[in-house]
Chain A
């Protein structure tokens, strides 16, 4: 177990830049790995992992930042995207770090729950986005959840490698 040398403030700034990078990658890469209309939501994966590792109020703050980036680039359903990402960040931040120790099931679990929370809030706040096309919506959301869970491993691992979170353990037992 290694103590992170970065202060919580610097860790938050690192996650903020990771979210920006995830938004850039989303617009360049995600459509290329699209499958039957479903593609991963890279910013949401980074938000879920980053907010959980940062915890509490900082998770809410990065959620708001992620929501602002997503809503700014979307052009549609501004308020719904902003609120859903903020609440998702708060939700992920409140997943108790002390209870969720690094383990092989943690990354997909937190990404699954955060994605479901974000999409549920978005669906409630913007019913126009799915009401007349609920089959397509379900197919896309199902694909997105699956994609996000798979991609949660490398992103969680990367965030842990750059010492985000209070203590760096060995989630994949690489050093034991």
Chain B
């Protein structure tokens, strides 16, 4: 093909691709505005990416279980001994707690208190962690078909907050993690001595979390537990976020900011729970 013909072909291909980009973007935003899943994203993600990611997750699990475990025998035996001792201690503690719970239920029934039911959780596997640069997101293998909706709250197996669902397709969802620069959550510091808990906003900084808008007189110290405040209306209250590492005063000394170390291990997440 002559050189001018090849150049025309390239130009037409680029123009067609850009027009297609515009159309796909328009469809995506139109569907998102109506809180509906984007069909193109759904097909690409659920038919191509999620099956491939699920296979790699299963291969990684098989490898850990059957190959890596062979080389960790002595450590596993020692860990098993420690865990057995912990199980014994916790069994006794659990028995006492069950008795206390039964007594609590009986007294609540007598006082006609409303029973507070625990939040139903949905377990999910992390199929991709931080899949694109400059964005702290993860992908879970649960979607609309499992009852996941936009802004569903996601927590780690240890109960710590991970973030909220940003995008959902029939079989998967994307979660915006707390550490992302676009993420912010109403938060409070666990109060001491029955004082009013200091409240602020937890904002992601890309690699950690900052608790901002604390008043200068707020008593916040390193080691304090930070939980959700429930004030924004999106996140329920009392979900652990992290622990205060340091506190910095603003130049004007009217507000202060605390650096918070997240309780969730964002770099080694394998499973997560969605609060339904």
Instruction: Identify the A interface with B (CB < 8 A).
Output: 20-21, 23-28, 30-32, 34, 36-39, 41, 56-57, 60-61, 63-64, 67-79, 81-83, 86-87, 90, 93-94, 128-130, 132-133, 136-137, 140-141, 144
Contact = CB atoms under 8 A, between A and B. Distances in A.
Give the 9 A-B residue pairs with the shortest CB-CB distance, closest first. Answer: A27-B128, A75-B174, A79-B25, A57-B13, A75-B167, A27-B131, A75-B166, A72-B44, A60-B13
Contact of A30 (B6, B45, B60, B130): B130
25 contacts: A23-B131, A24-B56, A26-B128, A27-B127, A27-B130, A31-B129, A31-B130, A41-B133, A56-B6, A56-B10, A68-B24, A69-B48, A72-B45, A74-B132, A76-B137, A83-B21, A83-B25, A86-B18, A90-B13, A130-B134, A132-B181, A136-B181, A137-B134, A140-B133, A140-B134
A56 B9 contact: yes
Contacts of B107: none
Q: Which secondary structure dominates chain B's binding surface? A: helix
B222 interface: no
Q: Chain B interface residue count: which class?
A: 35 or more
A129 B134 contact: yes
B139 interface: yes
Contact of A34 (B20, B45, B267): B267
A86 B21 contact: yes
Contacts of B97: none
Q: Which secondary structure dominates chain A's binding surface? A: helix
B87 interface: no
A38 B9 CA distance: 37
Contacts of A74: 131-132, 135, 137, 174
Given A73-B49, A81-B132, A90 B17 contact: yes
A128 B127 CA distance: 27
A60 B15 CA distance: 10
